[in-house]
Structure 1
């Protein structure tokens, strides 16, 4: 009886073991390979399955999965993929800070030349000066060693509160310093000043976390100095946070006006309105753009144009009408994908065509603008979408489908060559190194006279005979370029850019337009009142989207086999127990 009971109990386990061995044999022979996949996700599972099973050596598939994911994401127009470290650096730039020692530098004769320190940074507190040279970092010679910009950054940047030991050469002496790295503020509104008695100028480099706050403060400061007309410079501003552009528009456009709306395949339409009195709703306004003004820059320029609030001057903008959303992946990496398009108040979308193009082909469109002479001739501008839209006050015709076309076109200055700029840079840095104290004493407290001067900077590099041989245009441009370089070493901040505005066609045209531009006040019969949405315009969308997962066929079959085996074993055991009891 005991033998019969043992056999009865043993049978289910033998059956299960046989089935398991058979399943494993079939698995190795490919009988249980995944069925023909349905959808892209299954395709990649199949690829990695075959690699894992058949590659000649052991292989770390996780590394290749990350590389593959990055390649896929970045092949999509405006798809971005960042490692944890890259995402942190990107976040710091948008937050208006970075971690390092706080210097601006250049490579001069294979040495690290300090152009200037950043206000409030570790280097300024330690007394490092413009024209100092860093010759050693952590005991490693970095002078005359073919050092590059990137290698300097990797040596000097690092987490705050960590230290880096350097040797500084000042004139003929060398002394050591231990610099504790810190968090360095990098304002996104890099320059604001009065261009004349009534015209203010504000340069916005990007739309970071605090751009609206910096922009509002700059306007209020300029208004205290008598500003009634404003130039907002968005050239080379690639965009940033959408909410910052909306807040800036709210400072310039009266209440209850539609500023833009967003909509996507899996994102419902969302409208954004101006909601409160702004600090600059009435003054005359000009926005400067070029082909590298993108995304949030186009939102600002396009809304100003659509509401006839001001004029856009410069070149056609980039043509990015997509809103990106950030997704953190299971390995900590970050992926940014376009999830919706944004539309201007007139209803146009400035996104240039991307269907049927990979990221490389899509980015070549900017090169095409140069080859078609669009950058110097507005008649060469071509758009795939010729649909006409109309501004909401004056009814002027505007277009979408490829950036914001300026109201006043300014051709790009293509007459300057890079090697000439490099020559001026090296010559001015060398002269400043030899005469720093005298230059500081002459100009430090006399900036107005410095920028008004037309000969001093030229004579530091060229002979009088050479200067006289230059055309007036070349002489003015060279003087402005040298003043820009010297000012960057004399004063902290970005006041040096003021010198370039003397020969900046965009800037000069903006001032001319503002002198002749009589702003048309909104008439009450032209106003349209919009109901504001209940949600704040600063609220971020936080919709969760379900992801579908499927079980692989192999494990489905194994589960069914296991269940069948247990059922069979249970029946046999029950039958055996019944016989024993009898």
Structure 2
């Protein structure tokens, strides 16, 4: 998928996920919901608007708040009992909570109990499951990868297997979706599961009985040497283990000769602040300010670098774009403000609000903004929000006004200015502006390529191709070896074009195909690499086409540059 459209789609994901929709099961028509929902509402209102003890709860102000909550309950009861159509009372309560939070800021959010576990998985960095990657193809659950050491691998499952039943329930041909797969395969660590599997080329069903395990979700999604001295480390989020993963990646790359590093934070929507701070600490010398936070009810808290850090003397370039947000902006801001790195790419998202997760009595969760974070020079990079501002439209405005194609020097004309120790001017109030701007790379783009990118053609073709020719790829033992030695031939490309025409109804446009040929081949190779190895292999394959990485290499190879 071209970077231009990927950036748009990823931005939509970040913004929507920060305002997570509620899951609204239908009501049963009774009033039993009042018993269960009232403690939740009372607790939520108390947390949102007051920091008071039990001794103050009988104050006049508290009684007024209780009356307001009772009024909400009364209105919803009246609606449920008298409205022209049937209504879901719990859904009305949830919408009132979400409406209240929306008046505060775009990132405070309420997460219902049934969604808490899933929403925390990426942050926690692990989940209970079987350890496979999959696609749903022709209404069948297909295994694309089996994670080494995971329960599924230990049980004997292989790439290309078809899972036709889970715990005796037939799942083939029932319109299964991704959520349905997760509901059946995920579960408590150590819980039993039975998978009924058909192997490629066989009509026999084999049963696999085993226990679910603890499956890691890695946030360092690639660590490779791209020259004799320059390594690149891609971080997709800041989970509970990101700092440990990063430290391990640095250690391994240093063994391979890394003396300079590219830190790729593009499409990183954030996560835990403490692991982001620890990653920034890897680059900063002891005593350097990394970040500070402050709010009306939260005293100023400063965090400084320690004496630990493998990269303190290592030149570094940081890659960012409009989907670099929150915790990843803490890292890039800290390194920019301390004159420690060159920031390359496009203006970041602009999220400078800190949320604290608060568990409510029923197990649901409120993530409430409690403070703002500030970079070492004192700037807040939170972009504007509130009445009259369409927060979600910000990215489209960037796209429409051409900011993604060329540097816009007018963005920060009225923004507060700050100065780094070496005299560089930086700006607050709307994301972090890179030191070196790199426009979106649209080279090789065409109408045909766009249609292919927005279809399932790559995914489906590569799965089917490997299903027939997997033995041809057994000689490639690592993703690096595959990347160095395998090339997509013209014949393979034509086979793909014919497949897309027959199965995806995408008619070939020969002029477009010739113009986009290199992109099409690269995307095919990346998809094959993803199925043969880890997802990070896709990143490795795309490096030669990655303009930001090439610019970063150029900067790091300049001998006079001090980073």
TM-score bracket, shorter-length normalisation: 0.7 to 0.9
**Local SS of the residue matching 2:258:** coil
Distance 1:233 1:403 in 2: 17
Distance 2:545 2:162 in 1: 31
Find the partner of 1:149 among 178, 195, 200.
Answer: 178
What is the Cα deviation at residue 309 of structure 1?
Answer: 0.7
What is the Cα deviation at residue 41 of structure 1?
Answer: 5.9
Q: Are 1:263 and 2:288 matched, yes or no?
A: no
Distance 2:252 2:487 in 1: 32
- For 2:8, the equivalent position in structure 1 comes to none
Q: Are 1:225 and 2:275 matched, yes or no?
A: no
Write out aligned runs for 1:109-120 (5 A): 109-120=138-149
Find the partner of 1:163 among 192, 203, 218.
Answer: 192
Distance 2:424 2:381 in 1: 17
- For 1:136, the equivalent position in structure 2 comes to 165
Write out aligned runs for 1:5-154 (5 A): 42-49=67-74, 51-52=76-77, 56=81, 64-74=92-102, 76-154=105-183
Distance 1:242 1:36 in 2: 35
Q: Which has the larger radius of gyration?
A: 1
Distance 1:434 1:62 in 2: 51
- For 2:54, the equivalent position in structure 1 comes to none
Find the partner of 2:470 among 432, 436, 441.
Answer: 436
- For 1:241, the equivalent position in structure 2 comes to 272
Distance 2:373 2:251 in 1: 30
Q: Are 1:320 and 2:351 matched, yes or no?
A: yes
Distance 1:355 1:39 in 2: 27
CA deviation profile, 1:508-555 (whole Å, cap 9, x unmatched) = 22222222263327xxxxxxxxxxxxxxxxxxxxxxxxxxxxxxxxxx
Structure 1, unaligned stretches of length 5 or more?
Answer: 1-34, 522-582
Find the partner of 1:508 among 530, 543, 550.
Answer: 550
What is the Cα deviation at residue 161 of structure 1?
Answer: 2.3
Deviates more, 1:187-196 or 1:400-409: 187-196
- For 2:460, the equivalent position in structure 1 comes to 426
TM-score (norm 2): 0.78
- For 2:482, the equivalent position in structure 1 comes to 450
Deviates more, 1:259-268 or 1:371-380: 371-380
Q: Which has the higher contact order (CA 8 A, sep 6+)?
A: 1
Write out aligned runs for 1:137-536 (5 A): 137-173=166-202, 174=204, 175-356=206-387, 361-379=390-408, 382-383=411-412, 385-393=414-422, 395-413=423-441, 415=445, 416-417=449-450, 419-420=452-453, 422-440=456-474, 442-444=475-477, 447-453=479-485, 455-456=487-488, 459-462=491-494, 474-492=516-534, 494-516=536-558, 518-520=560-562
Distance 1:78 1:464 in 2: 43
Distance 1:55 1:98 in 2: 38
Distance 1:490 1:55 in 2: 54
Number of positions where the alignment pairs a residue of Structure 1 with one of Structure 2 = 482
Distance 2:166 2:412 in 1: 52
CA contact (8 A) 2:335 2:341 kept: yes
Distance 1:194 1:467 in 2: 37
What is the Cα deviation at residue 103 of structure 1?
Answer: 0.9
CA contact (8 A) 2:372 2:380 kept: yes
CA contact (8 A) 2:348 2:431 kept: yes
CA contact (8 A) 1:193 1:201 kept: yes
CA deviation profile, 1:485-527 (whole Å, cap 9, x unmatched) = 1112222462332101121222222222222263327xxxxxx
Distance 1:381 1:134 in 2: 55
What is the Cα deviation at residue 200 of structure 1?
Answer: 1.0
CA deviation profile, 1:188-235 (whole Å, cap 9, x unmatched) = 112212112101111111111121111112112211111011011111
Distance 1:266 1:143 in 2: 54
CA contact (8 A) 2:80 2:89 kept: no
Distance 1:443 1:311 in 2: 36
> CA 1:448–1:318 in structure 2 vs 1: closer, same or farther (change >3 Å)?
closer
Deviates more, 1:383-392 or 1:343-352: 383-392
**Local SS of the residue matching 1:214:** helix
> CA 1:166–1:457 in structure 2 vs 1: closer, same or farther (change >3 Å)?
farther
RMSD of aligned residue pairs (Cα, Å): 3.1
CA contact (8 A) 1:263 1:342 kept: yes
What is the Cα deviation at residue 116 of structure 1?
Answer: 0.4
Distance 1:428 1:62 in 2: 45
> CA 1:378–1:183 in structure 2 vs 1: closer, same or farther (change >3 Å)?
same
Structure 2, unaligned stretches of length 5 or more?
Answer: 1-59, 498-507
Distance 2:174 2:80 in 1: 43
Deviates more, 1:168-177 or 1:298-307: 168-177
What is the Cα deviation at residue 80 of structure 1?
Answer: 1.3
Distance 2:310 2:225 in 1: 17
CA contact (8 A) 2:487 2:525 kept: no
**Local SS of the residue matching 1:462:** helix
What is the Cα deviation at residue 357 of structure 1?
Answer: 5.2
> CA 1:116–1:245 in structure 2 vs 1: closer, same or farther (change >3 Å)?
same
What is the Cα deviation at residue 178 of structure 1?
Answer: 2.6
